[in-house]
């Protein structure tokens, strides 16, 4: 068989938390709709949860060029893999999953059957070890970042912020302007930076991880961001001074929705959730006026104090708007979700 006539074959490898897996599954579906073959590399743990809580397998069965591949994150099953223990996932992947990835890539696993060998890898932009391994083997890597262009650029400029003495910072005045991020001088404040920028120690694990992973982005063959030019054009221009092959393909969810409609494909009946979904809100949402409900979610990593949760709740209530708030059970530091929120939201 002349494999050169077969479609390009892409391996997609997300960081194994909800928002990253969700975005990169949407990217996978768009590539499949464009006629490419896709292997989606996911941890054993997350693969099991996807099969348990979604109909994702049947949803992707309509694409003969798609398959899941699994790899171990080497963490025990009881590990929460969310909240303030996410860094443990990163450390385990870097130390223990890296050799497994290399073993997988140098095997004949991807040359069996009627598909091309891997054309390239689209790796999550925080998985620098995947870039290292692929470079050793000679497979091109394209990075995908799930964050906004503004967030990425602020992360990229952290070494400059440190050099200017703007990071790390202390004190309660969070409205101090940040001047060392080109293109964002007029609006960036301390409060807009992640909490690890307030660390008193430059050796802080989270701070160093973000610096290391973000600054190596130009090594990749290209960078994909889930945004669009009209939204973040000036910042995208700044990023292109370091990453000229930058592709903006967002918003992914709307792009995918449009493609599915154009192909006359039935829309999915489930999401890409790693948790069991509570769909009881759908009937309530269906009774609300169009574009009248505020949706609030802080993802699979954020940990808030009880005071922060209560402040958000009071703000939402005082807005006078209907809202739907998704709260992880482990998202409140040191306690469960405050009872007054659970009771108040029922009214």
How far apart are alpha carbons 302 and 294 in whole angstroms? 19
Tell me how far apart the alpha carbons of residues 156 and 168 are, in angstroms, rounded to a whole number: 15
**Nearest residue to 130 via CA among 141, 138, 119:** 141
Q: Contact, 303 vs 331, CB < 8 A?
A: yes
N-terminal to C-terminal alpha carbon distance within the chain: 65
The answer to whether residues 342 and 313 touch, using CB atoms and an 8 Å cutoff, is no
A 10 A CB-CB count for 343 gives: 9
Which one of 9, 47, 73, 124 is the catalytic residue? Answer: 124
Count CA within 13 A, CB hemisphere, residue 24: 30
DSSP string computed for 30-50: HHHHTT-EEEEEEEHHHHHHH
| Strand residues in 160-221 grouped as ranges (E) | none
Residue whose C-alpha is closest to residue 185's, from 223, 150, 137, 225 = 150
The closest of 263, 276, 272, 300 to 12, measured between CA atoms, is 272
Does the annotation count 109 as an active-site position? no
Cα-Cα-Cα-Cα torsion 284, 288, 294, 299, nearest 10 degrees, comes to 30
28, with CB counted inside 10 A (0-12, 13-18, 19+), is buried
Pairing relationship of beta strands 120-124 and 66-71 according to DSSP bridges: unpaired
Of 40, 221, 41, 37, the residue nearest 117 (C-alpha): 37
Cβ–Cβ < 8 Å for 277, 284:
no
Q: Which two tokens stand for residue 187?
A: 């609006």
Catalytic residue, candidates 20, 37, 73, 255: 20
Active site residues: 20, 124
């Amino acid at each position: 068989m002349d494999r050169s006539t077969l479609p390009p074959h892409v391996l997609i490898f997300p960081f194994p938390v909800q928002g990253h897996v969700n975005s990169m599954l949407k990217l996978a579906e768009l590539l499949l709709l464009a006629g490419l073959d896709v292997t989606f590399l996911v941890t054993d743990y997350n693969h099991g949860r996807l099969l348990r809580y979604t109909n994702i397998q049947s949803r992707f069965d309509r694409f003969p060029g798609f398959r899941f591949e699994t790899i171990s994150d080497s963490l025990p099953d009881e590990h929460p893999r969310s909240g303030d223990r996410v860094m443990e996932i990163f450390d385990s992947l870097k130390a223990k999953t890296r050799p497994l990835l290399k073993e997988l890539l140098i095997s004949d696993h991807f040359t069996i059957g009627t598909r091309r060998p891997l054309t390239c890898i689209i790796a999550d932009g925080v998985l620098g070890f995947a870039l290292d391994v692929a470079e050793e083997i000679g497979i091109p890597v394209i990075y995908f970042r799930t964050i906004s262009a503004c967030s990425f650029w602020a992360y990229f400029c952290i070494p400059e912020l440190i050099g200017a003495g703007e990071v790390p910072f202390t004190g309660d005045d969070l409205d101090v302007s940040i001047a060392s991020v080109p293109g964002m001088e007029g609006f960036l404040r301390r409060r807009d930076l992640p909490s690890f920028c307030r660390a008193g120690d430059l050796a802080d694990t989270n701070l160093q991880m973000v610096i290391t992973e973000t600054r190596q982005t130009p090594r990749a063959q290209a960078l994909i961001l889930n945004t669009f030019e009209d939204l973040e054009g000036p910042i995208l221009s700044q990023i292109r001074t370091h990453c000229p092959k930058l592709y903006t393909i967002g918003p992914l969810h709307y792009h995918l929705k449009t493609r599915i409609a154009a192909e006359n494909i039935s829309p999915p009946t489930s999401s890409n959730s790693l948790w069991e979904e509570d769909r009881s809100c759908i009937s309530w949402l269906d009774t609300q006026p169009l574009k009248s409900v505020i949706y609030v979610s802080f993802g699979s990593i954020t940990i808030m104090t009880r005071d922060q949760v209560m402040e958000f709740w009071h703000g939402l209530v005082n807005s006078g708007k209907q809202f739907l708030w998704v709260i992880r059970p482990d998202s409140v530091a040191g306690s469960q979700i405050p009872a007054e929120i659970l009771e108040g939201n029922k009214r």
